[in-house]
Chains A and B, each alone.
Chain A
Amino acid sequence: MIRALLLTTLLASPAFADEVWVTNEADNTVSVIDANSLKVLHSFDTGERPRGITFSRDFKRVYICASDSDAVQVMDPDTGEILHDLPSGEDPEQFVIAPDDRLLYIANEDDAITTVVDTQTRKVVAQIDVGVEPEGMGISPDGKVQVTTSETTNMAHWIDTETHKIIANSLVDPRPRHAEFSPDGAQLWVSSEIGGTVAIFDTSDHSEIGKISFTLKGVRPEKIQPVGMRFSPDASKVFIALGPANHIAVVDAKTLEVEKYILVGRRVWHMATSPDQTKLFTTNGVSGDVTVIDIATLEPIDTVKVGRFPWGAAARPTSK
């Protein structure tokens, strides 16, 4: 029995010592979690109030929005060393990297601007006026359309990445926090924190094709506040973090029905999928931890203590 366990561990861990990175908003650090052992491997210092985090598509760099330092920091994920800052505009909160791995689209929350930065030349390519408090950032899989949501204007702004002009604006329910394209690029999902809903748009004509509401037994409707969203690896489901409702909703991507609610830590924000696509990691802001969910069974399997107010999450494969 022990031998069998050992063998499994040996087989599983060295080959895929993948990592999940979490920004700790109130500690000015990132925690690096081993996706298999679920231990915190490192804690690296960042600028002030780190929130959005994403890896370059080749995983050689990690970008971190240090909101109160007014900087996007570029870190070497192997050493934790901050290599340089990118010109980010004021108060960067979230961002998204283009499929070409070069342009970074940054939401400047205090300035009502989306800033486009070339990560190679480290220059600002464009600044686009959007609504008040831009936050959610999505990009279509083909890289042709970027969507910025503005929290106080209650809109999704569709931006043509060639001209850097707004081509459409879609009104959504109050306080949109996150925008996520379906992996096939056909749909855009937008979560509205105060509206308590998720709107789904057809990307071909920007029309709204559905809206999801949530009901949780014993939880007041006003506490159900959808924020982060992520498609399951096979794109059949969408995981939606419900903030202070302390649950992840699992939604069937076709029928738009909620299949299940998974209990996680307090004030759940964002999620990352392990690179082997078996686990989902959720950042729980108030409880200061990360819930690990088995994607096959949709059951929580562990809780990992990280820093104070974990917010953003991103994963990278480190198998050699």
Chain B
Amino acid sequence: MRIQWLIGVCAALLLGAPASSETLRIDWLEHQVTPPPILSNIAAVPESLGLDGTRLAIGDIRTTGRFTGQDYALNETVIAPQDDFLGAAKSVLADGAKVLVVKAPAPDLLALADLPEAKDVLILDASTQDDALRGDDCRRNVLHTAPSYAMRADALAQFILFKKWRKLALISGQLPEDLAFTAALKRALTKFGLTLAGEKEWAFDADMRRAAAAEVPLFTQDLPDHDLLLVSDEPGDFARYIAYNSWLPRPLAGSEGLKPVGWSGVVEQYGAAQLQNRFREAAGREMAQGDFAAWVAVAALGEAFTRTQSTDPATLRRYLLSDEFRLAGFLGRPLSFRNWNGQLRQPIPLVTERALTALAPLEGFLHQTNELDTLGIDAPESTCAAFGDSQ
């Protein structure tokens, strides 16, 4: 009986006719944030960051669905900064949403994941980088497709070690995301046996567009000698004015200069050029980390639906966390999810404005199971307890 059914499915697939007319509903749920003010007036964060990646991926998986007889419905819910996210989330769930791709700050994401009606849904977090959400605050129904701060910091630390840059200095901004990235950088340096020779907090409120040439040399003059100046300035406020204005002529890395990122417009190898072309054509701008995280989330759902032929969130989740799941993500290695905290394993490009400088994990950073697990919090050190049954 079972075998007969399987043959039936195969035959239908072979004829090119729809095997089933099942539709997977995917909900894009976004709580917009008002970005913190930054000094520069150029290159604001695109409003459609993430959503453009989602839309592109829906097109991609829908093309696949044409041949498997599967379809997708994308429901977009975008909530303004001042509006009630949780209320909107509840209505979406009441409307029948079972699989969600979410772009929202960590507190919103947790509130959503903890709703009783969200217990059995599958949430793909496509924006946060907070390590706590992959550790103490992890949730069983949430998978993360953006790299964590720890993964990005480890990628940079591997490169620093590879370059044998031993003397390091750090300038940190004071916003919560700056502090989170700074903590990740410090943890990564310790992990790879590196130390900071000196560090300073950025505390200016002057307009650097005018004053950088005068202020930055003095500000950086009392830092001990260093090979590389690390900067933690996640919204892109001040670090761009440190470049070339520092007391010592030193390269920058971190939030500016050489940046470890989930994605960038300069990534072109491993077939990435094709994805970049498709994205540029659809969105009219370069693909960024937030877009790729959303693209990957939707592509992963498409792959899971294709292989399992199921729209059941539990079945999809099980497949995504299994060893069978290998996603082609244009980064040269198969992408998969860590079954101890739901984080997507992914290589981390180290990029400048115009080129890919290196792709982490770097050659020689070994791991007993998967070299991608040299980036971020590995299973033995994970404090996430919600994934016990998945391992």
| A-to-B contact residues, CB < 8 Å | 91, 109-110, 112, 129, 131-133, 151-155, 157, 166-171, 173-175, 193-196, 205-207, 220, 222-223, 244
Decide yes or no whether B92 CB sits under 8 A from chain A: no
CA distance A166 to B328 in the complex (A): 24
B 1-35 binary contact with A (CB < 8 Å = 1; else 0): 00000000010011110000000000000000000
**CB pair B277 A152 closer than 8 Å:** no
Inter-chain contacts of A132 with B (CB < 8 A)? 60, 63-64
With an 8 Å Cβ cutoff, the count of chain B residues facing the other chain is 27
**CB pair B64 A168 closer than 8 Å:** no
Which residue of B has the minimal Cβ distance to A135?
A: B271
B 197-208 binary contact with A (CB < 8 Å = 1; else 0): 000000000000
Inter-chain contacts of A152 with B (CB < 8 A)? 60, 64, 299, 328
**CB pair A154 B274 closer than 8 Å:** no
**CB pair B326 A194 closer than 8 Å:** yes
Q: What is the distance, in angstroms, from B363's C-beta to the closest C-beta of chain A?
A: 11
A-B contact pairs, 16 of them (CB 8 A): A112-B63, A131-B63, A132-B64, A152-B60, A153-B63, A154-B328, A155-B64, A155-B67, A168-B14, A170-B13, A171-B68, A174-B327, A174-B328, A193-B328, A194-B328, A222-B333
Number of A-B contacts (CB under 8 A): 80
Decide yes or no whether B237 CB sits under 8 A from chain A: no
Inter-chain contacts of A131 with B (CB < 8 A)? 63-64, 67
CA distance A129 to B303 in the complex (A): 20
CA distance A169 to B15 in the complex (A): 7
Decide yes or no whether B166 CB sits under 8 A from chain A: no
The answer, among B60, B274, B371, for a CB contact under 8 Å with A109, is: B274
CA distance A166 to B13 in the complex (A): 11
Which residue of A has the minimal Cβ distance to B59?
A: A132
Inter-chain contacts of A220 with B (CB < 8 A)? 370-371
The answer, among B67, B277, B332, B370, for a CB contact under 8 Å with A153, is: B67
Give B56-79 interface residues, CB cut-off 8 Å to A: 60, 63-64, 66-68
Inter-chain contacts of B306 with A (CB < 8 A)? 154, 171
Inter-chain contacts of B333 with A (CB < 8 A)? 222-223
Q: What is the distance, in angstroms, from B69's C-beta to the closest C-beta of chain A?
A: 10
**CB pair A110 B277 closer than 8 Å:** yes
Inter-chain contacts of A129 with B (CB < 8 A)? 66
Interface SS of chain A:
loop
CA distance A170 to B11 in the complex (A): 10
CA distance A285 to B333 in the complex (A): 17
Inter-chain contacts of A109 with B (CB < 8 A)? 274
Which residue of B has the minimal Cβ distance to A168?
A: B14
Interface SS of chain B:
helix
CA distance A112 to B299 in the complex (A): 16
**CB pair B334 A174 closer than 8 Å:** yes
Which residue of A110, A131, A132, A157 has the most chain B CB atoms within 10 A of its CB atom? A132
Which residue of B has the minimal Cβ distance to A152?
A: B60
Which residue of B has the minimal Cβ distance to A155?
A: B67
The answer, among A91, A157, A167, A175, for a CB contact under 8 Å with B328, is: A175
**CB pair B14 A133 closer than 8 Å:** no
CA distance A110 to B60 in the complex (A): 11
Inter-chain contacts of B285 with A (CB < 8 A)? none
Inter-chain contacts of B334 with A (CB < 8 A)? 174, 194-196, 222
CA distance A112 to B10 in the complex (A): 23
The answer, among B14, B303, B326, for a CB contact under 8 Å with A169, is: B14
Which residue of B has the minimal Cβ distance to A167?
A: B16
Inter-chain contacts of A193 with B (CB < 8 A)? 328
Which residue of B15, B326, B327 has the most chain A CB atoms within 10 A of its CB atom? B326
Q: What is the distance, in angstroms, from B305's C-beta to the closest C-beta of chain A?
A: 12
**CB pair B326 A173 closer than 8 Å:** yes
Inter-chain contacts of A169 with B (CB < 8 A)? 13-14, 16, 67-68
Inter-chain contacts of B327 with A (CB < 8 A)? 174, 194
Q: What is the distance, in angstroms, from A245's C-beta to the closest C-beta of chain B?
A: 12
Closest 6 CB pairs of A and B: A175-B328, A194-B328, A153-B64, A168-B14, A169-B67, A174-B328
B 268-297 binary contact with A (CB < 8 Å = 1; else 0): 000100100110000000000000000000
Q: What is the distance, in angstroms, from B312's C-beta to the closest C-beta of chain A?
A: 20
Which residue of B14, B67, B299 has the most chain A CB atoms within 10 A of its CB atom? B67
Q: What is the distance, in angstroms, from B287's C-beta to the closest C-beta of chain A?
A: 15
Q: What is the distance, in angstroms, from B259's C-beta to the closest C-beta of chain A?
A: 24
CA distance A223 to B371 in the complex (A): 10
Q: What is the distance, in angstroms, from A175's C-beta to the closest C-beta of chain B?
A: 4
CA distance A151 to B330 in the complex (A): 11
| Given known A194-B334, A222-B333, contact A166–B16 (CB-CB < 8 A) | yes
| Given known A194-B326, A222-B333, contact A168–B370 (CB-CB < 8 A) | no
Which residue of B has the minimal Cβ distance to A207?
A: B10
CA distance A167 to B327 in the complex (A): 27
| Given known A169-B13, A194-B328, A222-B333, contact A154–B278 (CB-CB < 8 A) | no
Which residue of B has the minimal Cβ distance to A157?
A: B67
CA distance A205 to B7 in the complex (A): 12
Inter-chain contacts of A153 with B (CB < 8 A)? 60, 63-64, 67
Q: What is the distance, in angstroms, from B194's C-beta to the closest C-beta of chain A?
A: 25
Which residue of A has the minimal Cβ distance to B281?
A: A110
The answer, among B13, B63, B278, for a CB contact under 8 Å with A171, is: B13
Q: What is the distance, in angstroms, from B4's C-beta to the closest C-beta of chain A?
A: 15
Q: What is the distance, in angstroms, from B307's C-beta to the closest C-beta of chain A?
A: 8
CA distance A131 to B59 in the complex (A): 11
